[in-house]
Amino acid sequence: MKEKRQQKQIIELTSLTRQKLTDTKAIQEGIIQFYKSLMGTSAYSLPVVNKTTMSNGPVLSHHQQVELCKEITNQEILEGLQSIGDDKALGIDGFNALFYKKSWPIIAEYTCAAVHEFFNTTSLYKAVSCILITLLPKVPNP
């Protein structure tokens, strides 16, 4: 187990300012700073990704690229819903996946239209992207 943990460690990282980081804390902070710099921005290129190194890894075939760019079908949307466990994914409205599965004949048209709109415009209706966070105390009687 210890060997696997050592194999999956990042031992060196080049920061956004081109500094070589080797200390664990510095590497953690460098990663956090990198992702913080991306938040709220549209990054057209990632300055620290080496394109040569990336091209040496697995690459999608032309057919796979075309498949990823195809328009999503209503059947794929339904299959995505059906792949969610019945008791999973409580929405902001409090309904779980089972509710959506059972009411699919009624809501399919509107749900599919919303999903298609997202894929075509990349904007998501704000109420859909809301989440609820519930803090649960770790003690039996807080």
pLDDT in tens, 93-122: 777 888 889 999 999 999 899 889 888 887
CA separation for the pair 59, 100 (Å, rounded): 37
Backbone angles phi, psi at 37, to 5 degrees: -70, -25
- pLDDT, residue 129, reads 61
Hey, how many other C-beta atoms are within 10 angstroms of the C-beta on 106? 9
* pTM exceeds 0.85, yes or no: no
pLDDT of 5 strictly over 60: no
> Which range is least confidently modeled, 13-27, 59-73, 117-131?
117-131
Please state the domain count of the chain.
2
Residue 119 forms part of a structural domain: yes
Average pLDDT, the chain: 79
Residues 142 and 93 in one domain: yes
Q: Write out the two tokens for 119.
A: 């894929």
> What is the bridge-based pairing of β-strands 20-21 and 13-14?
antiparallel
Residue 66 forms part of a structural domain: no
Q: Write out the two tokens for 95.
A: 């309904």
Q: Which DSSP letter does residue 138 get?
A: S
Residue 50 forms part of a structural domain: no
CA separation for the pair 104, 109 (Å, rounded): 9
| 101 neighbors 88 (Cβ within 8 angstroms) | no
Residue 49 forms part of a structural domain: no
CA separation for the pair 26, 20 (Å, rounded): 10
| 114 neighbors 128 (Cβ within 8 angstroms) | yes
Residue 118 forms part of a structural domain: yes
- pLDDT, residue 95, reads 79
Q: Which pLDDT tens digit goes with each residue over 27-64? A: 888 888 887 777 766 666 666 667 777 778 788 889 98
Q: What per-residue string of b and e applies to 24-51 under the rule 16 or more CB within 10 Å gives b?
A: eeebeebeeeeeeeeeeeeeeeeeeeee
Residues 86 and 28 in one domain: no
Domain that holds residue 9: 2-41
Hey, how many other C-beta atoms are within 10 angstroms of the C-beta on 137? 7
- pLDDT, residue 108, reads 94
Residue 115 forms part of a structural domain: yes
- pLDDT, residue 76, reads 93
Residue 105 forms part of a structural domain: yes
Residues 30 and 81 in one domain: no
